Structure 1
Amino acid sequence: MNKESNKNFVSLFDEPNKPLWQKTKPDFKLYQISSILTIKKTNSQSIKKGKFFISNEYLVEVDTAYKRHIDLNNIILEQTNQPFTFRLSRNKKQIEFTTNEQEYQLWFQLIKKYAIQRSFNEDYKLLKIQGQGNFAKVYKAIGRDNFAYAVKSFEKKSFKNLTLERDALKLEISIMRKIQFQGIIRLYEVYETEHHIWLVTDYLEGGELFQYLRNQPQGFNEIQVALLMHNLLNSLDYLHSQGIIHRDIKPENLILRSPLNASDVYIADFGLADYYNPEGKYLFKRCGTPGYVAPEILQEKNYDYKVDVFSAGILMFIMLSGQSPFQTKSKNELVIKNYNCEIDYTINNLQQKISPEALQLLMIMLSPNPQTRYTAKQALCHPWFIKCFAPVYQMSPPQLYMPTNVIPQFQHYPDIFARSPIMNQLLNQSISNLSLSGSSNVTPQRTQSNSLQVQNPCKIAIEEDHQDFEVIQEEICQIHEINKYSINNQRKQTPAQQNKFTQ
């Protein structure tokens, strides 16, 4: 399935103005490995030995009169026919490093975390396609270590705007390389072949949360929802602590580790993620999925990490009520209601069916005003989680029906707002009849049921009594430790050295 020539080609990741070697200015105090290596320029007879070490994404030479280093980010990494030798190349400039048998694997493993490899056909075998979007396909694959992986494939010729799409892909890869957390899909390796880019990630058996929701007509009780929301918010809190905004939290981008446990959920698809910028400068500023995106994004206001909390609140609403908070008959109407944050908390008798604590948290997470909306960390400290997880608390809410025509209302256009130009076009059409003085000063219109003023004792406690806040946070963290699942994130992966797959 993955037959493709690996002849020489210009890398999509090449930066013409970036040299292979750079003068070293940073003071590298920490390093992962240090060795004497033999180095040789390709097509040259010049061979010498030198002392080198790796400090995160830098390979540093320390024996020269002045220190110099190679930035390993998106450099081409290849094995050679020579024993224990690897080649690094950028902009048609190449250099080969030879080490010993004991250290070769460690050097290769440390470098490939940041590099682009070209031996995908030798290292992985595609088994079947798992999903397909506007920009990529996802396959199940088997690696040389006999582990199953999910491989996200980008076809180069599909890039309409090469510079923009390349920058977006590099951003997605950069973000995923930075992430090391239990509740987030992990990126293992990146490959480039003549026609494709391949991202090798965790493969999880449970599939999308979207499909799980559709297959649960009996609905969910509050404890089930609390378990999932706690894990999701915990992962979001980690992302935000790393300076990352996801901006596309929805059931399609949440993957279950097991089909038997909906609470063990992993965040996936960082195609719209970005590093937080307080000035609002992003590669794509207005992006997301209708029905889940925070209103301040649609209104073109500056926004922060709380946009992810709003999206998580939409998911919580759907699981508790069995309905989308935006009841619409067309995508244009959906955009308008999402833009104005017109949420009806009386849908399916939600206010009567769920506990006061659940309703309070839900309304705070879905507040149209980011200033009064919780951060992920604050949401984790809400009394609803304490109540749901307390061993003495026995909650038996009615089973909630999940109509099959509710969540799938977005399935025909889940990526319609994947990129800014498309979003702008449809959004502008949808709100063209609205009388607005300016998007930067929009006052969201709310339904009567959505205009309730929520008294928030948890928020007051956080602001006025930091001691209470710490106690609540500590209890939640203990609960998380009890409920989390241990997984083996340290899969052993070795570069291709022996047999090729039987095609």
Structure 2
Amino acid sequence: MINITKLIKQRQQYTTILEDNSKLYIRPIDELDEITFSGEYLIQKNGKLKKKLIQFYEHIMVYSKKKHLNILNATLLLHLTNLNEIEGLKFIKSGNSIELYNNASELYLYVRKYCIQREIPERYKITQTIYYGSNATFLQLESTLYIKTFHVAKIYEKQNYTTQDQISGIKKEVQILRQLQHQHMSNLVEIFENDDLIFLIMEELKGESLQTILENQQYLNENQIKLIMKPLFECVAFLHSKNIFHRDIKPQNIKFRHSDNYLEACLIEFSLADYWNKNGRYLFTRCGSVGYVAPEVLQDKKYILNIDVYSLGIILYILITQKHPFEDLDKGKKILRNYNGQVDYSILQCSQILLDLIKKCLEVDFTKRLSCQEILSHPFFSNRIPKLLSFKIKDQKKSTQIKTQRGQNFHSVNNLAYDQSTNSLSQSKSPSSFVSYRHSLTLQKQKTVFPEISIFQPKSKYFLTKNSQYESLN
């Protein structure tokens, strides 16, 4: 029997949002998808070690033909040596457990996003506060297991999530992130939950946001625009292949993987993502960001996956013109123009190929709008743009309307009417009432790559121990 030199302490009970009360040992599943991970491990049972070939089908562990395990939302404990190396893993769920040894580090990298870990102060130290958002806090963390490895933690304070819709929203985000792995998005690494907080540990993207590039008036030619937009369409096509739409694509939610080039644009922030369904009913039906949302969403129509294509079309328009197509200081007029899809193409100075692409993306009739996969077959992406047809923008005036704060999202969490601080829209609000609302939006320059800086201050004492690596949260 392996002598465990260090075991992270585990309490018996936690208040939990993510656990689902399902069983660890389940009935064998006849039809499973492709094997996603496999290996030989030592299984500890009755004080003895037995060598077994273990196969994983996502979160389903096949122990034998007659025994399958569901590790989804199981509590994951690490057995660590004195050198802080992973010696073994222990899965705990519904009063049952299983321990695996031998090549445990490799297994840990696979299973960690499906499970819930508990004692984060043992595993990460805070290196930087990125920003306090109205819904979550973002910190940069450094791993204690992997030296010089940094991640971004999106942290929810559970005391702020009391309604069933709010809790379901977090669960939906976690569920979707677990299914996604793509080079052009910030991928989920692992999850921690304790009595007070939920930590979504995400890949760190070292580059700027597209919002920052626009604010710095970095004008791009068509080849540069193609290099930025093609990875985004590829990522969204991947999402759509899984029947998932993002629903909040905008410059603030696009970051570059590296700081020295614009070759790897990535999508971030999946809190409004959802699965498409035929009946058109979602946790948040009318959601997105003012000016980037497809008209059919505002019109309360059943919408399909290509609402994300429309949002990407808006970004294309902004990259060419440095202006927002629905730009207007009057918020009501801006929403109405978005509602009707009123886009002025006359100011576009670009090749006919790119103009055709933008018009196809911004087609108001979503039944005629191309899918993401069809957009990727467009000549703009399949052919090199001749230099003679690439224009730099002549209009050097910087558009302040593209500085849309992250707070300018709208969804029906509380069925609120339009509010100037959150720009939320009630689903019962009619288009004509948008026009009657008049307010000149106060525009503030955002100096961070992350939008939505607010006066929100976290209450959990975790955020008060930034200089302590191992201070207990209990």
| Structure 2 length-normalised TM | 0.79
Q: Which amino acid aligns with 1:414?
A: Q
Say whether residues 1:397 and 2:397 are aligned partners. no
More helix by percentage: 1
Name the residue aligned to 1:89. 92
Cross-structure match for 1:287 = 287
> Conserved in 2, the CA contact under 8 Å of 1:39 and 1:98?
no
CA separation of 1:183 and 1:288: change in aligned 2, threshold 3 A? same
Counterpart contact for 1:6–1:193, Cα < 8 Å: no
Distance 1:69 1:34 in 2: 16
Q: Which residue of 2 aligns with 1:314?
A: 314
Percent of residue pairs identical? 27
Query: In the TM superposition, what whole-angstrom CA distance separates every residue of 1:72-131 from its partner, at most 9, and x where no partner exists?
Result: 11111113589945332334x1424153xx333334333323101113111111111223
User: What does the per-residue CA deviation read over 1:374-426, in whole Å, with 9 as the maximum and x for residues that have no partner?
Assistant: 11121122223345x25x64445233435151211x22733344847347744
The alignment of Structure 1 onto Structure 2 pairs a total of residues equal to 414
Work out the CA distance in 1 between the residues paired with 2:431 and 2:88: 60
Q: Look up the equivalent residue of 2:89 and give its one-letter code.
A: F
- Name the amino acid aligned to 2:38: Q
Pair 1:22 & 2:26 matched: yes
Equivalent position of 2:161 in the other structure: 159
Query: Hey, what does 1:459 align to over in structure 2?
Result: none
Do the aligned partners of residues 103 and 334 (structure 1) sit closer, same or farther apart at CA in structure 2, a change above 3 Å counting? same
The answer to whether the Cα contact below 8 Å between 1:231 and 1:264 also exists between their aligned partners in 2 is yes
Report whether the alignment pairs 1:379 with 2:380: no
Distance, in Å, in 2 between the alignment partners of 1:289 and 1:79 is 41
- The superposition leaves residues 293-339 of structure 1 with CA deviations (integer Å, 9 ceiling, x where unpaired) of 11111222222111000000000111111211113223333222212
CA distance in 1, matches of 2:345, 2:136: 36
Q: Distance in 2 between matches of 1:321 and 1:247?
A: 23
Query: Superposed, which structure 2 residues align to 1:416-427 within 5 Å?
Result: 416-417=410-411, 419=413, 421-422=415-416, 425-426=425-426
Q: Using a 3 Å threshold, how does the CA distance of structure 1 residues 94 and 361 change in structure 2: closer, same or farther?
A: same
Distance 2:275 2:354 in 1: 31
Structure 1's 132 and 316: CA in aligned 2 closer, same or farther, altered over 3 A? farther
Task: Give the CA deviation at 1:369.
Answer: 0.5
Match of 1:207, as an amino acid?
A: E
CA contact 2:284–2:412 (8 Å) conserved in 1: no
Q: TM-score, normalised by structure 1?
A: 0.75
- Number of the residue aligned with 1:406: 401
- Does the CA-based 8 Å contact 1:284-1:420 persist in structure 2? no
Structure 1 position 49, deviation (Å): 5.7
Paired amino acid for 2:169:
A
- 2:60 and 2:390 mapped to 1: Cα distance? 55
Matched ranges for 1:418-497 at <5 A:
419=413, 421-422=415-416, 425-426=425-426, 428-429=428-429, 431-433=431-433
Are 1:33 and 2:39 an aligned pair? yes
Q: Equivalences for 1:163-312 in 2 at 5 Å?
A: 163-216=164-217, 219-312=219-312
Q: CA deviation at 1:172?
A: 1.4
Contact (CA 8 Å) 1:154, 1:198: kept in 2 or not? yes
C-alpha deviation, 1:502, in angstroms: 7.2
Aligned to 2:409: 415
Distance 1:195 1:206 in 2: 31
Distance 1:381 1:24, change over 3 A: same
> CA separation of 1:262/1:59 partners in 2, compared to 1, >3 Å: closer, same or farther?
same
Displacement of 1:247? 0.8
Q: Is the 8 A contact 2:333 2:434 kept in 1?
A: no
Residue identity opposite 1:357 in structure 2: I
- How far apart are the structure 2 equivalents of 1:426 and 1:336? 15
Structure 1 spans left out of the alignment, 5+ residues: 41-45, 436-499
Give secondary structure in 1 for the equivalent of 2:175: helix
Alignment RMSD (CA, Å): 2.9
CA distance in 1, matches of 2:290, 2:87: 51
Rounded to whole Å, the distance in 2 between the matches of 1:335 and 1:420 is 20
- Which amino acid in the other structure matches residue 407 of structure 1? I
Give the corresponding residue for 1:13: 18
Could you tell me how far 1:34 is from its partner in structure 2? Answer: 4.3
**Residues 431/86 of structure 1: CA separation in 2 closer, same or farther (3 Å cut):** same
| Structure 1 residues 104 and 429: CA distance shift in structure 2, 3 A | closer
